[in-house]
Structure 1
Amino acid sequence: MIVSELTYPDGYQTEVMHVQAEQSIGKIFMFHGMLEHHERYIEFAQFMADNGYDVFVCDLRGAGTSAHDQQSYGHLAPGDGFQQLVEDARYLIDRYEDGRPTYVLGHSFGSLLARRLGQIMGHALAGLIVVAPPPHPGVAGEAGHRLIATVMKRKGATHQSRFFERLLFGRYNLKFLPARTDSDWLSSVPDEVDSYLADPNCGGLPSLGFLHEVTRASLDVTTAARIHEHPKSLPVLFVAGVDDPVTHDGEGLNGIIKKYRNADVELAVVTYDNARHEILREAHREQVWSDILTWMKQNKIH
């Protein structure tokens, strides 16, 4: 495994983890979820490398040790923060372009980034893997986004609000009450939840600017119009836990699936019973990994 520093054109620095395969048949670029970091994917990346894929995972802007060092943890610039993540991702992918098949995998918030990449550069990709995807947030999401924008004008983009954090994400744990922690919705494995809570590079309060970009991306990337930008030649795999509150316990996932099928996109869907949000770190993670690998090999470009 190689960990290197990457500096984007605007000077922002991040860490990139490259897990190398002995005889590589392709590349995977992975994008993590909200308020976590690349090191949480070492186990999955090593599995994929052992099966022939070079894996690249970077800390997204506003995440990880680099963000703490640059005093930007949990913050994105309102208005263009998500677009900056898209540009960062394209810069990373282009940096390692070598003609081998390229897959993009995104988890949760990272899946919004992955889906947007599929829409704007899908013809250059071999496949898209969408893990624990947030659906379109509907009328409530639109109202929340407008309210965040209004408060942000008064308090500033870097202001941290427990109220908005609870408003947007507080319902996730309701299904698991009485809960051991506020984060039981992440995984059915207590050790995984405890690991997340103990990690200084996980969690915390996001800024209003960050929440503005999360809600804006959720509203934009998941629309039918955006989905119709996705090339019909780019296959997609959706992976989710049946008990994941982020996908509205499957209801939101069904809505996303319908939109992709209406757009005539080649789509496969795998769901797992008794599994929550962090499906790649669930009790039956090796089955999930194996299913992703099987799908990738079925869609390999020769």
Structure 2
Amino acid sequence: MVLSELTYPDGYQTEVMEIRAEQSIGKIFIFHGMLEHHERYIEFAHFLTENGYDVFICDLRGAGSSAHDQQTYGHLAPGDGFQQLVDDAQYLINRYEDDRPTYVLGHSFGSLLVRRLGQTMGHALAGVIVVAPPPHPGVAGEVGHRLIATAMKRKGATHQSRFFERLLFGRYNLKFLPARTDSDWLSSVPEEVDSYLDDSNCGGLPSLGFLHEVTRASLDVTTSARIHEHPKSLPVLFVAGMDDPVIHDGEGLNGIIEKYRKADVELSVATYDDARHEILREADREQVWSDILMWMKQNKIQ
């Protein structure tokens, strides 16, 4: 495993983890979820390298120790913060461009990022893996986005709001009450929940700017118009736990799948009963990993 510093054109710095296979048949870029960091994917990354894939993972802008060092943890610039993430990802992928198949995998908020990459640079990719995907948030999401924009005008983009954090994500734990923690919705494995809660580079209150970009991306990337920008020949794999409240226990996933099918995109779906949001860290994680690997190998020729 190699850790290296990466500086984006605008000066923002992050850390890139490279884990190389002995005999590589392809490469995959993994993009983590909201308010977590790249080191949480090391176990999964080693599984992929053992099976022939070079893995590249970086802390997204506003996440991890790099963001703490630059005093930007939990913050994105409103208006262009999500586009900065897209530009960052394209910059990272282009650094390692070669003739091997290139896959992108994104978890949760990171899944919005890889879905957008499929729409903007899909012809350079071999496949898009969408894990625990937020669906289009509908009218409630539109209202929440406008309320956040209004609050930013009064309090500033860097203001941290417990109210809006609860408004957007507070319902996730309801189906697991009485719950041991406020984060039981993440995984059915108590040790994994505790690992998240004990990690200083996970959680915390996001800024209004960050929430603005999360809601804006959720409203934009998931529209039928955007999905029609995805090349029909670029395969997509959706991976989700059926007890994940982010996908509304399957209902939201069904809506996403229907839009991709209407766009005639090559599509595969893998769902897992009794699994929650962090599907890559669930009790049956090795089955999930193996299913992803099998799909990648089936879609390695472009």
TM-score, normalised with respect to structure 2: 1.00
Alignment of 1:213-292 (within 5 A): 213-292=213-292
Specify the alignment match of 1:87 in structure 2.
87
Q: 1:250 is paired with a residue of what secondary structure?
A: helix
How far off is 1:144 after superposition? 0.1
Specify the alignment match of 1:177 in structure 2.
177
Distance 1:257 1:164 in 2: 28
Q: Deviations over 1:108-166 (max 9, x none)?
A: 00000000000010000000000000000000000000000001000000000000000
Distance 1:77 1:284 in 2: 37
Distance 1:198 1:81 in 2: 27
Specify the alignment match of 2:107 in structure 1.
107
Distance 1:68 1:297 in 2: 37
Alignment of 1:66-77 (within 5 A): 66-77=66-77
Q: Deviations over 1:218-256 (max 9, x none)?
A: 000000000000000100000000000000110000000
Q: 2:74 is paired with a residue of what secondary structure?
A: coil
How far off is 1:301 after superposition? 1.2
Amino acid at match of 1:222: T
**Is it true that 1:161 corresponds to 2:161 in the alignment?**
yes
Distance 2:250 2:47 in 1: 27
Distance 1:65 1:131 in 2: 24
Alignment of 1:115-154 (within 5 A): 115-154=115-154
Amino acid at match of 2:162: R
How far off is 1:293 after superposition? 0.2
Specify the alignment match of 1:187 in structure 2.
187
Unaligned 5+ runs, structure 1:
none
Amino acid at match of 1:103: Y
How far off is 1:98 after superposition? 1.4
How far off is 1:44 after superposition? 0.2
Distance 2:291 2:258 in 1: 22
How far off is 1:99 after superposition? 1.3
Q: 1:249 is paired with a residue of what secondary structure?
A: helix
| Runs of 4+ in structure 1 over 2 Å off | none
When the two chains are superposed, the root-mean-square deviation of aligned CA atoms in Å is 0.5
Q: 2:18 is paired with a residue of what secondary structure?
A: strand
Distance 1:96 1:171 in 2: 40
Distance 2:278 2:20 in 1: 24
Specify the alignment match of 2:198 in structure 1.
198
Specify the alignment match of 1:11 in structure 2.
11
Amino acid at match of 1:66: S
How far off is 1:269 after superposition? 0.2
Distance 1:150 1:130 in 2: 31
TM-score, normalised with respect to structure 1: 1.00
The count of residues paired between Structure 1 and Structure 2 equals 302
